[in-house]
Amino acid sequence: MLFHDIGQCLDWLAERDRAQDFTVTRTRLDRMPGWAVDPVTGDLAHRSGRFFTVEGLAIGTDHRDVEAWTQPIIVQPEIGILGILTREIGGEPHYLMQAKVEPGNVNGVQLSPTVQATKSNYTRVHQGSPVPYLDHFRSPRRGRVVFDSLQSEQGSWFLSKRNRNMIIEVTEDVPVRPGFCWLTLAQLGELLLADNVVNMDARTVLSGLSFAAGAAPGPARTAELVSWFTEVKARYRLSRTRTPLAALPDWERGPHEIRHRDGRHFSVIGVDVTAGHREVKSWSQPMIAPHGRGVVAFLGRRVAGRLEVLVQARTEAGTHDVVEMAPTVHCIPANYPAGGRPRFLDEVLAAPASARLLDVVHSEEGGRFHHAENRYLVVETEPGADLDVPDDFCWMTPAELAGFVGHGSYVNVGARCLLACLNLAAGPVLDGARPRVAA
């Protein structure tokens, strides 16, 4: 299916949403069919031994305001596939996207990659239908690899989770199944400016186009940036110990949720799902439900007319390595009601509309997170603004940051999503043009 304008695509998404026979109902954590609560540890696990578990984690680090804490975390060591097919249609590259509903989405259907599947799903542990188009992303495959990299997921809620992000170019005609459509980069850029339309999995894969098309820095600049990142990684420590979920000292467990004793951060909840248009028609699962909307933001500045963004070397509970390159600000403001605000958060939130190069709300991964949203911002500072920038922050151009997307364990998911928006939706701002912001 092809669209002549974005209105047609949005109408199609609304129609797909109305056609979905999809319901999500909260349920008790100890009454989820297929799942069991370990009688000793309290951990949540699928009876098949696959998919994922929810366990406890004790964290120690000298690179956060709090040096030690405990929390529930999702443990999902298997590597899934997030893949987008591309082919030239009418002389212009198009990208095959899927209208997909996830149990955690705030609004039902969102645009997802051609393939968005965990290993348990595509190996059909659930005994469901085969994943469409999967053969284009598994070896031996037809087509040219445009982008293929192991990328991290949300380190606050996943323990060292990675997925394979892929873009594969094909030349032959590909039958378009119901629920799929071809979109141009320009159309994807417009849709990235709309709230909760392009899902997180699609955004992280599309950040690979930033890597593929970006003007890479020279060897000397690359060495400088790698040295900065390596210095931060070597300076700080991060220790994690998996611990029984039932033994977390700051967390309270009830029949319907596990929540922090002060009501902040997030809860672990259980849901029952029925889905008429999925590989599996019904299932139950635990989910992470954050308490509040997050802010994911870059501060930007102009140097000789060129945009630079302030990148943070950030440590999170589940970070695959000690740090990853992250946005300037990456937090849920509601978690800081009594002071101790993250650095640069207030500068981002106080910025006037004229300084916001990008301002849009996007959902996070709806397969594991329930109604998780972040406000994605790029805020340009006043010329000559005197910012106190710590050593674990670094100014770099979006193209320089994009150069690290081609490698795993460098750029975190929040920064990758911002790069996709900057490259596709707000690309003109990189050269000083008028910003395009969501209405």
In this predicted model, what pLDDT tens digit does every residue of 18-41 receive, in sequence order?
Answer: 998 899 999 999 999 999 999 999
Instruction: Tell whether 436 is covered by a domain.
Output: no
Instruction: Tell whether 439 is covered by a domain.
Output: no
3-state secondary structure of 150: strand
Q: Which H or E run includes 163?
A: strand 162-169
Question: Is it the case that residue 240 has pLDDT exceeding 70?
Answer: yes
Q: What is the CATH number of the domain that holds 146?
A: 3.90.79.40
Note the pTM of the prediction, 2 decimals.
0.94
Say what the pLDDT of residue 124 is. 59
Q: Are 393 and 414 in contact (CB under 8 A)?
A: no
Which amino acid belongs to residue 222? Answer: T
pLDDT digits (tens, 9 = 90+) for 369-396: 999 999 999 999 998 788 999 999 999 9
Mean pLDDT across the chain: 92
Instruction: Tell whether 96 is covered by a domain.
Output: yes
Domain assignment of residue 209, given as a range: 1-428
Say what the pLDDT of residue 127 is. 57
Instruction: Tell whether 186 is covered by a domain.
Output: yes
For residue 215, name the pLDDT band (cuts at 50, 70, 90).
low
Q: How far apart are CA 221 and CA 396, in angstroms?
A: 10
Pairing of the two strands 162-169 and 80-89: parallel
As a whole number of angstroms, the longest Cα–Cα distance in the chain is: 62
Nearest CA among 262, 235, 259 for reference residue 248: 259
For residue 425, name the pLDDT band (cuts at 50, 70, 90).
confident
Q: How far apart are CA 303 and CA 177, in angstroms?
A: 47
pLDDT digits (tens, 9 = 90+) for 60-111: 999 999 999 999 999 999 999 999 999 999 999 999 999 999 999 999 999 9
Question: Is it the case that residue 216 has pLDDT exceeding 90?
Answer: no
For residue 434, name the pLDDT band (cuts at 50, 70, 90).
very low
Question: Is it the case that residue 428 has pLDDT exceeding 80?
Answer: no
Q: Is the peptide bond before 140 cis (omega within 30 degrees of 0)?
A: yes
Instruction: Tell whether 435 is covered by a domain.
Output: no
Instruction: Tell whether 437 is covered by a domain.
Output: no
Strands (E) across 208-250 are located at: 238-243
Residue with tokens 């999500």: 24
- Residue 49 region, left (φ>0) first, then alpha (ψ -120 to 50), else beta? left
Q: Which H or E run includes 188?
A: helix 185-191
Q: How far apart are CA 23 and CA 66, in angstroms?
A: 39
Say what the pLDDT of residue 267 is. 98
Within a 10 A sphere around the Cβ of 344, how many other Cβ atoms? 22
Which amino acid belongs to residue 88? Answer: E
Instruction: Tell whether 433 is covered by a domain.
Output: no
Split into its structural domains, the chain has a count of 1
Instruction: Tell whether 424 is covered by a domain.
Output: yes
Which amino acid belongs to residue 146? Answer: V
